Amino acid sequence: MSNIKIVSDNIAYIPWEEKTADYHGPVWRHQNNPIIDRNPANGISRIFNSAVVAYQNQFIGVFRAETTDGRPHLHLGYSDNGLDWRIDEAKINFVDESGNSFQPNYAYDPRLIKIEDTFYIIWCTDFYGASIGLAKTKDFKHFVRLENPFLPFNRNGVLFPRKINGNYVMLSRPSDSGHTPFGDIFLSESPDLVYWGKHRRVMAKGGNGWWQNVKIGGGPAPIETTEGWLMFYHGVTGTCNGFVYSMGAVILDLEEPSKVKYRSKNFVLTPEESYETTGFVDNVIFPCATLHDAESGKIAIYYGAADTKVCLAYTTVDEIIKFVKMNHEDVADDKEIGKM
């Protein structure tokens, strides 16, 4: 019996499958992937890179829906079991803090994170180019869009699921406005979700693994564990045939999450199955959410496959943390003095 624990709610009804005896990786796929296929609702051609949470003894999610005009928007989805999803045909309707309509031109790669009694949606929005959008809801009926937290250009905004030392904490990946061929993960703090500062670089692309040598970006909300914040992320490499997106895992310091405690030099999942290697964009695994159960230590990871479908994979807190520690290699700490 392990003493590594998730520090969070018990949600015993999350989707789950045991690892099969012939599989050796630390993260294993749901046998019936993809769980959501192309054309999940009228007017939506592809669905991927999406985020789910447990809500009222069921599950609810914010989905990246690529509509038939080729633009991505955010749509709600509902499920009793985390596997079978009903996706709304209509996109989420946002208002600003005065109640006026405030719709994004486009919206993609949502994260959905509960902090205290509020659910926050973070996505990549259009703010003179790719930037981070932020909205909140308590009931999944009314969605209030807040000010964009950061200057352009930025993507992969991810909130931690609780305040740390009194502040909200957000990961992000500053970038350019194109299909960025670079990028490191940074962290910023805010007392009120309006004013952001204390910016720190968490980790750089590269590390010791070639699979993450082009860029990296935050994934699901970090999971609090007795060993630190467990964070899944995506790491990208460039090949003669284009980018390949794999999943990595890292453990951050609990009190000072810009400090990396352990970073696996090996990916934890890489495109291998046909639904990951072939699609609108080949060779993409892009994790955006987890469901996890503190009592059992089970973790279900939702990821987008090939920019086309929604898939699911599993691990346990014990297995993934042991893997990250075992495959950890010190990366030269190039945080320059005066730069943080």
Q: How far is CA 337 from the centre of its chain?
A: 30
Strand 223-225 vs strand 168-174: parallel, antiparallel, or unpaired?
unpaired
Min dist. Cβ of residue 48 to ligand BMA (A): 7
Min dist. Cβ of residue 143 to ligand BMA (A): 21
Min dist. Cβ of residue 284 to ligand BMA (A): 5
Q: Which helix (H) or strand (E) holds 187?
A: strand 185-190
Residues 300 and 293 sit within 8 Å (Cβ to Cβ): no
Residues 44 and 66 sit within 8 Å (Cβ to Cβ): yes
Min dist. Cβ of residue 40 to ligand BMA (A): 17
3 CB-near residues (< 8 Å, 6+ apart): 226
- Position 198 contacts ligand BMA (CB under 6 A): no
Site for ligand BMA in 25-64 (CB under 6 A): 49
Which is closer to ligand BMA, CB of 268 or CB of 284? 284
Which is closer to ligand BMA, CB of 109 or CB of 189? 109
Q: How far is CA 173 from the centre of its chain?
A: 12
- Position 181 contacts ligand BMA (CB under 6 A): no
Which is closer to ligand BMA, CB of 109 or CB of 227? 109
Which is closer to ligand BMA, CB of 168 or CB of 232? 232
Which is closer to ligand BMA, CB of 109 or CB of 224? 109
- Position 66 contacts ligand BMA (CB under 6 A): no
Which is closer to ligand BMA, CB of 23 or CB of 182? 182
Which residue bears the tokens 């259009």?
Answer: 126
- Position 286 contacts ligand BMA (CB under 6 A): yes
Which residue bears the tokens 């082009």?
Answer: 214
- Residue 323's region, left for phi above 0, alpha for psi from -120 to 50, else beta, is alpha
Which is closer to ligand BMA, CB of 181 or CB of 191? 181
Q: Residue 303 pairs with which residues in a beta bridge?
A: 287, 311
Binding test (CB under 6 A) with ligand BMA, winner from 281, 288, 311, 317: 281
- Residue 208's region, left for phi above 0, alpha for psi from -120 to 50, else beta, is alpha
- Looking at this protein, which amino acid is placed at residue 305? A
Site for ligand BMA in 243-272 (CB under 6 A): 245
Which is closer to ligand BMA, CB of 31 or CB of 241? 241
Binding test (CB under 6 A) with ligand BMA, winner from 307, 315, 327, 328: 307
Min dist. Cβ of residue 145 to ligand BMA (A): 20
Residue showing the smallest CB distance to ligand BMA in the complex = 281
CA distances from 286 to 64, 216, 235, 309 (A): 12, 11, 9, 11
| Residue window 94-123: x/- pattern of binding to ligand BMA, with contact defined by CB under 6 A | --------------xx--------------
- Position 179 contacts ligand BMA (CB under 6 A): yes
User: DSSP secondary structure string, 42-96?
Assistant: TTEEEEEEEEEEEETTEEEEEEEEEETTS-EEEEEEEESSSSS-EE-SSPP-EE-
Site residues for ligand BMA per CB under 6 A: 49, 108-109, 179, 245, 281, 284, 286, 304, 307
